[in-house]
Amino acid sequence: MKQVVKTIGLWFQRLGNKIKTFYDVKIDPMLSKIGYALTHNPLIKMNELSVRIFGININITRKRRDAFYGYTFISLWLIGLLIFTLYPMLYALYLSFFEAYYNLQTGITTSFVGFENYFNIFRSQTLVPLFANYVIRMVVSVPLIIVFSIIIAVLINVPMKGKSIFRTIFFLPVIIATGPVIGELTAQNATTLPALENSNVLNFISDNLGSWLAEPMVLLLNSLLLVLWYAGIPILIFLAGLQKIDKSVYEAADIDGASPWDRFWKITLPGISSLISVAVIYIVVTMSLFVESGGILELTRSHMLVGAPDSQFWFGYGYAAAIAWIYFIFMVIIMSVFVLILSGRKEKA
């Protein structure tokens, strides 16, 4: 044990030393050079209240100073946004109108195909059912998760001993839910409740409903536990909202003779209703971005990596970019429909 602690300590010490030498050798001289260049050059000159750049005087006002420092602090993010997010986004949009393949020798080769990639997606026999499944799964499971997490949050909010234990339990999946682990659990049938499997509910559903509706329903029930695992953060969101509701409102309702049932619908739910949209956005994003084997996202990657001009099944970068964009658009549509429904109900009330 002592050995282990010592090794860990040594490791941290080495890490610290590395960072320190890196700072001393690389960053410190660089910073002092920059500082020297800023004060000793003819182009930029700083006086008390004005800066002289290329011969133009700029007066330093409080507003300008604030703006300068603000942009300096977020400059990292701004540069990153341009290089790693906005440019790739637009480039992917551009590529989606091309047939594009990557080759180690020649780099990327493109040929313009117009909207052909998009048409091919909607012609595809594998992708169309996957997209339909995705939409239905979202429509069914997002309300389910919301209801479940509100129930749990209300239950945890009841004042009693051991509250924090339950909070710990319900947050656990956020920590351990990694792709491969979930894949393994699904493969071993650990994500469905045995009670559900033994009853005839599943047979009943698939016998009595059309297959387009029954299949996603059965899929949902089969992975019910995984679906509920997405509730970890929404539970915390609602719990935080519940704790913001003033206790005295409940007391006033008590005096007027409101039942617990009334209090839930008239005080608790309106109190957290604004958070439901936040939770919906969070759930849609995390559920959509989870990569299942055989799902759309994995197909996208395969199209990109395996794609070659002579391939029958894999269509390269342009096709992958088109799928990703369609997926993103679907995601945004689902999210905005949910949010619109929620806000529409609020206006009527």
Partner 1 sequence: MSLRRRLLGMQFTDGLLYKTIVLLLLISFSYIYLYPMLFMLTNSFMNVEDLINPGVKWIPTVVEIENYRRAVQVLELPSAIFSSTSYVLRVSLSATVSSALIGYGFATFNFPLKKVLFALMLATFILPSQVTMVANMLIFRNLGIMSTEQSMILPAIFGQGYNAAIYILIFYQFFKTIPSVLRESAEIDGATPFKVFYKIALPLAIPSLLIVFLFSFVWYWNETFMTGLYVGNPVTLPLKLQSFRASYETLFPPGSFGSELNEAIMLAGNMMTILPLLVLYFLAQRFFTESIDRTGITGE
Q: Which is nearer to partner 1, 216 or 268 (CB)?
A: 268
Q: Which of 141, 268, 324, 338 binds partner 1 (CB under 8 A)?
A: 324
Q: Write the binding mask 36 to 75 for partner 1: x where contact by CB under 8 A, - elsewhere.
A: ---------------------------x--xx-xxxxxx-
Q: Which is nearer to partner 1, 216 or 324 (CB)?
A: 324
Q: Using an 8 Å Cβ cutoff, are 288 and 333 in contact?
A: no
Site for partner 1 in 326-345 (CB under 8 A): 327-328, 331-332, 335
Tell me the torsion sign for CA atoms 119, 326, 301, 83. Answer: positive
Q: Write the binding mask 9 to 38 for partner 1: x where contact by CB under 8 A, - elsewhere.
A: --x---x-----------------------
Q: Which of 1, 43, 56, 160 binds partner 1 (CB under 8 A)?
A: 160
Stretch that binds partner 1, among 36-44, 134-142, 203-211, 272-280 (CB under 8 A): 272-280
Q: Does 190 sit near partner 1 (CB under 8 A)?
A: yes
Site for partner 1 in 207-246 (CB under 8 A): 225-226, 228-229, 233, 236-237, 239-241, 244
Q: Does 281 sit near partner 1 (CB under 8 A)?
A: yes
Q: Which of 155, 209, 306, 340 binds partner 1 (CB under 8 A)?
A: 155
Q: Does 317 sit near partner 1 (CB under 8 A)?
A: yes
Site for partner 1 in 84-103 (CB under 8 A): 84-85, 87-89, 91-92, 95, 102
